Amino acid sequence: MSLELIQKQLSMRAEFWKKSLGWPKDDTSYVFLGRAVHVIGRSMFGSDWTGDEPCIDPLPKLTVFPERSGWRARLVHDLLVKHHPEYNRQPPKPYQQSFEFSGKEWMDAVTIVERLRQEQAPRLRRLIQVQDRIVQLAEASFLITAIREKAGGDPTPIPRSWWKSERIRDRFDLCQLRPDDPYNLGIGSDPFQWIFVTRESLMSCAPGGLADDWQAPKPVTTSTVPPPTEEPTKARPRLPAGKIEPAFRHWREQQPEGYIPTEEQDVAHMQALGVGRDKVRELRKKFPRRKRGETRSR
């Protein structure tokens, strides 16, 4: 793939993430992968997750040798127009293909690019860590994923084996996957389908991460007949005391290597087994925990 095509794909990705209003809608059972990225991001990094991490158009490194044409030359020209008005450069003309630079102009642009790359680095690292976390969870079957045709319909589950590859990061560019060629590195053509995650598995992997405006839509009730009275909720069966710690140990051993669940994740899992929060806090003292203020796994 040429550098020009790579740069075009990166720009397409940034534009996609900036225009989330055009994303497919969630429903009561599924959340679009784009929104799930933000949910996992908030779960891992808290307030450090700004939400614009996927929108960054990464700047490439520039060589020290001036170029007269191509996307690097256009980038340098645009940077000089914006950051160095003393050079009196004008916005490029339509279809302008070539540019002239002095050695000083080019090196000034190199300096700008290095500064901007340093500013982008923390956000790009957070994004990559979130993507890696989603892949780990999906591969381990903790996060259940599915695909849906762009025109609509019910999502179809994705086999966990489709996440066992080093050629899947492109899926996060437009949150799409090609079912007849799941490891395809292209994006955006007709055979590609939208990627979703189940709401239940997302809430389990990132408890508290779903914001109020991303909660499941409430079904509309049209019937005038009052709903039947629900039976009292039965108490969850509690594990025998001797099985609580082994169950917690098994839960921790299931985690992808190096990942330490948050307290809320531990509590949510064990409460499903009838174990209270206080007991979970006692158990956590016997196992690795995140340091105070730490927002991501080690």
In this predicted model, what pLDDT tens digit does every residue of 38-78 receive, in sequence order? Answer: 999 998 888 899 988 998 888 888 989 999 998 889 999 99
Residue 17 has pLDDT above 60, yes or no: yes
Q: What is the rounded CA–CA span in Å between residue 190 and residue 186?
A: 11
Phi/psi at 135 (nearest 5 deg)? -60, -45
Q: What is the rounded CA–CA span in Å between residue 239 and residue 221?
A: 38
Mean pLDDT value of segment 285-293: 76
DSSP code of residue 55: G
Tens digit of pLDDT for each residue in 84-93? 999 999 998 8
Beta strand 193-198 pairing with 30-32: antiparallel
Residue 212 has pLDDT above 90, yes or no: no
Q: What is the rounded CA–CA span in Å between residue 9 and residue 171?
A: 12
Residue 231 has a pLDDT of: 45
Neighbouring CB atoms inside 10 A of 68's CB total 11
Q: What is the CA radius of gyration of the chain?
A: 24
State pTM to two decimals.
Answer: 0.65
Please report which helix (H) or strand (E) contains residue 285, including its range.
none
3-class SS of residue 86: helix
